[in-house]
Structure 1
Amino acid sequence: MSHTARNDKRDLILSKGARVMTRRGYHGTGVQEIVQAAGIPKGSFYHYFASKEDFALQALDYIYAPRLERYRAALCNAAIAPRQRVLDYYADLVAHFARKEKPEYHCFIGGLSFEMAELCPPIAKRLSEILAQSVEQLARCLEQAQRAGEIESGCNCPALAEFISNAWEGALLRMKVCGSVAPLQVFLQQLERLLAPAATNLPGRECPAALTNATGVDQ
């Protein structure tokens, strides 16, 4: 098998298998379910992956490498004001979920975090790395918005980025539980309020105290 063909087969298994694992969870998905979804013999799985854990690690990279690149591109788009880049990106995500007729309200990284972060150090490490990269990209964009006077000058942008990222992951989990995009819509409404332009920030709309401390620690 050529290198290209091998990569194509591996990508097929990752794509199909990750969908199953997203729906059923890590513990609810066996190698048999993965190979059935990919339409390959069970023995072929081990030509590409040492174990189900190895599959999950490779699936994280397969899914999130392109997503992180899209995130970076969206938040670095110089044609759009920094604050608006953040709002537009999350608005597009909410619209994406809302458009689906039968949305599978699942998040691969959120599901793995919930199930495996305490049980599997290699998976926990990779999850942390991916989330840290996304927070770093968001913090840079928020710092640009701050320099442009679009958000409060006193905000601790890394802490604010961490808060937004955590809130989004929580909204995705709530969406899965209630079977509705309503939690994402609430997230977007509150994000718009949180990132209200500095010049129009009214009492009650200031950056939370825990996000204004330069150390990121609520004093």
Structure 2
Amino acid sequence: MALASSRIDKRDLILAKGAQVMSRRGYHGTGVQEIVQAAGIPKGSFYHYFASKEDFAMQALEHLYRPRLQRYANVLGNTALAPSERIVGYYRDLIAHFARQEKLEYHCFIGSLSFEMAELCQPIGQAVEDILQRSVQLLAQCLELARANGELDAQTDCQSLAEFIANAWEGALMRMKVGASVAPLNVFLDQLEQLLRPR
């Protein structure tokens, strides 16, 4: 049992450290050597856990985003708050996290992979799309609860609204990174609050 746990820990270490490097340097700018150096392991160990750099990227996506999606689901499932408050509160807390940074930094693993690899590598592109769609579905379900509670117009297309919010958030993050300012995120939050303000 201890051996199995050690194997999982080492794999998780490689995934975490390697994903950090790949987020900063991009898929093409990161070799297996950079990944193993970041994790402090011999190169041979990499191929014990991953068939290739592509396999590593696929596993790293799931490793990073499964817990993030679970946190998103937990926040959006918090019955102590109205559905619209759960959504706005989630994004408000994220923006507060960025605003507290002394030096604003944002490195997005999924964004980096999508820009570089979505067209070049169909499996990676599909893995990115699957994660984004899982996020949208969680949001759409919460919006449907908001609609059922009368917080949204009865005719609201919750799936389309979820897609719009998710896309707007990704765009705001890109603007934040380019301009090194949380101003685009604050604009996003202001518009989100107006969208979800009880009618």
* TM-score, normalisation: structure 2: 0.95
Counterpart of 1:191 in structure 2: which amino acid? L
Question: Is contact 1:106-1:173 (8 Å) kept?
Answer: no
Counterpart of 1:46 in structure 2: which amino acid? Y
Deviation at 1:30, TM superposition (A): 1.2
Percent identity among equivalent residues?
A: 68
Question: Is contact 1:139-1:158 (8 Å) kept?
Answer: yes
Question: Is contact 1:22-1:107 (8 Å) kept?
Answer: yes
What is the aligned partner in structure 1 of residue 120 from structure 2? 119
1:85-109, CA deviations, whole angstroms, 9 ceiling, x for partnerless residues? 0000011111112222233212111
Counterpart of 1:32 in structure 2: which amino acid? Q
What is the aligned partner in structure 1 of residue 182 from structure 2? 181
Counterpart of 2:62 in structure 1: which amino acid? D
SS of the aligned residue for 1:2 comes to helix
Is structure 2 residue 164 aligned with structure 1 residue 163? yes
Counterpart of 1:110 in structure 2: which amino acid? G
What is the aligned partner in structure 2 of residue 86 from structure 1? 87
Q: CA RMSD in A?
A: 1.2
| Aligned-partner Cα distance in 1 for 2:25–2:105 | 11
| Aligned-partner Cα distance in 1 for 2:103–2:30 | 21
SS of the aligned residue for 1:101 comes to coil
Is structure 2 residue 164 aligned with structure 1 residue 196? no
What is the aligned partner in structure 2 of residue 32 from structure 1? 33
What is the aligned partner in structure 2 of residue 108 from structure 1? 109
| Aligned-partner Cα distance in 2 for 1:23–1:98 | 20
Question: Is contact 1:106-1:172 (8 Å) kept?
Answer: no
User: How many corresponding residue pairs?
Assistant: 198
Give the number of the structure whose residues are more often helix, by fraction.
2
| Aligned-partner Cα distance in 1 for 2:169–2:49 | 33
| Aligned-partner Cα distance in 2 for 1:56–1:30 | 11
| Aligned-partner Cα distance in 2 for 1:102–1:51 | 34
What is the aligned partner in structure 1 of residue 11 from structure 2? 10
What is the aligned partner in structure 1 of residue 57 from structure 2? 56
What is the aligned partner in structure 2 of residue 21 from structure 1? 22
What is the aligned partner in structure 2 of residue 44 from structure 1? 45
Counterpart of 2:5 in structure 1: which amino acid? T
The more displaced of 75-84 and 171-180 is 171-180
| Aligned-partner Cα distance in 2 for 1:132–1:42 | 34
Question: Is contact 1:23-1:104 (8 Å) kept?
Answer: no
SS of the aligned residue for 1:102 comes to coil
The more displaced of 74-83 and 166-175 is 166-175
Counterpart of 1:170 in structure 2: which amino acid? G
| Aligned-partner Cα distance in 2 for 1:57–1:178 | 30
| Aligned-partner Cα distance in 1 for 2:103–2:7 | 33
Is structure 2 residue 63 aligned with structure 1 residue 68? no
Question: Is contact 1:142-1:157 (8 Å) kept?
Answer: yes
